[in-house]
Amino acid sequence: MPIVSSDLKIRYSGGAANSNQAQSIGGAKSSVEPTDNLLNNMFSDSLGNESLAGSTKYRLAYLHNGHATLTAKNVRIYILSNSTSTDSTWAIGLASAGLNGTETAIANEDTAPAGVSFSSPSDYATGLAPVDIPAGQHFGVWYRRTQSPGAAANDADTTSINFDCDTNA
C-alpha cells in the first residue's frame, strides 16, 4: 500500500516523550505529535508586551515517515495558508542535522537556530525539499513565527503547513 497522509507524522522535538510545544526547540525527536487543528499546538499565545514590541519565536518538529516499508520520495514542505492575522507571518527552514539527525537545541524560543535559512514557500513547486525519507526515519523542520510591533489581539490565528511526497505503489 502506498504512503498516505496519515503515514507522514509531525513529532515535537525536546526529548523522547516531550508533549510541551514550548520545549520543542531542538533535541531528540519526541514520540508525541502536535494535535492537528488545535490552537497553540506549535506556539503559545503572545503576551501583551510581546505583541506591543513585536516578537520572533522558533520551534523545531520532525517530519517522520511512519510507513512500515516505503520511502517518502520528492518530499515537499510548504505553507498552504500563512497566518490569518495581518500582524504575524510564518516561515519554515530545514534543520541542519540532516536525515535522521538530532538537531541541536537552541537556548530558548527567542534564539534563531544557527545556519538555518527561512522562507515562506506557498505550494509544492516552491516547497522546501529535504532528502527522501526512508520508512521509520525523520527530518527536522524549523518554524518561525514573527509578530509585528503593535500586533492586534487575535484569538484564532491559524496557519496551515503541508507535507507532500511521492511513493512507490
Domain ranges of the chain: 5-36+53-166
* Mean of pLDDT values over 74-100: 92
User: How many helices (DSSP H) and strands (DSSP E) are in the chain?
Assistant: 1, 6
Overall pTM surpassing 0.85 (yes/no): yes
Which pLDDT score, from 0 to 100, does residue 1 have? Answer: 63
Which pLDDT score, from 0 to 100, does residue 37 have? Answer: 63
Place of cell 505583541: 51
- Share the mean pLDDT of the chain: 90
Closest CA to 8 of 103, 73, 60, 58: 73
Band of the pLDDT at 92, cuts 50, 70, 90?
very high
User: Residue 135, class by beta-carbon neighbours within 10 Å (0-12 exposed, 13-18 middle, 19+ buried)?
Assistant: middle
Place of cell 515537499: 76
